[in-house]
Amino acid sequence: MRFCFRLGCAAAWGALVLNAGGPAIQPQRITSVVRADQRSGKLVRSVIVTPRTVGQQRVVETVIAPRVVPEVPVPEVDADEPKPAPPSGLDEAVDRIAAQHSLPPQLIHSVIKVESNYNTNAVSPKGAQGLMQLIPATSRRFGVANAFNPMENIQGGAKYLKYLLDLYNNDYALALAAYNAGEAAVAKYGAVPPYKETQNYLHLVADQLKKSMGSPAVRETGPAQPVKQPEENAPAGLKHIQKMVDRDGTVRYVSR
């Protein structure tokens, strides 16, 4: 009995020690049993440990600071820097393109009036397209991707007119005849071809130029060179012009 009492005191003392940390920790339950061994007759002590109940664990909150994304500086735009404005209308577009190619704007307007009457979607029976009625081969030749785009069409037509005026030494009649009938036709006859359509075309363009010569804009910039009527044209000496055939079969005429 004395032995059991000591064991019980020890168990109770152990419980007190385990509880010294406070109520948040529950002690383990220790049970000591003394019994006689059946073989040897000696007293044998057995200790039974009951696992303690795990108390509520404290969860430590982890505070994650928000990621700060640095601001990307926006480049300052100089408000005083001049910016090219798109053409506000067809007149301004013609003026700009004419100035780029050193052409009178009245010439471009006259060709547009006669060719399409300012119809951007015009298509001729021969397949000429747009304001200045460029055939697909001419569009490709002068870098026009969309002949129905007014700016591209005028740019291509102006390039072609400038090329023809340079080719024929600034002879408007020959240049316009080639614009209408082709360079090969002018080369064949050495002058304005005797085609009724081409001769009528020169009359119409000449009339448009005469009408434009009286406008204030023409008086300021100077009139375009008059187009000679076909009957006034003597056969021109075109010996300086050479025929060129490209690999794809395209025929061009260039100055020697």
- Indicate the helix (H) or strand (E) that contains 45: strand 43-50
105-116 vs 172-181: helix crossing angle, rounded to 10: 30
> Which residues lie below 8 Å from residue 179, measured CB to CB, with a gap of 6+?
111, 160, 161, 164
Q: Are residues 178 and 185 in contact, defined by beta-carbon separation less than 8 angstroms?
A: yes
Q: Determine the 3-state secondary structure of 91 from DSSP.
A: helix
Are 197 and 182 in contact by the 8 Å Cβ rule? The answer is: no
Helix (H/G/I), strand (E/B), else coil: 37:
coil
Selected catalytic residue, list 76, 81, 92, 115? 115
Q: Respond yes or no: is residue 61 known to be catalytic.
A: no
Q: β-pairing, 241-245 with 29-36? A: unpaired
Which residue numbers are catalytic?
115
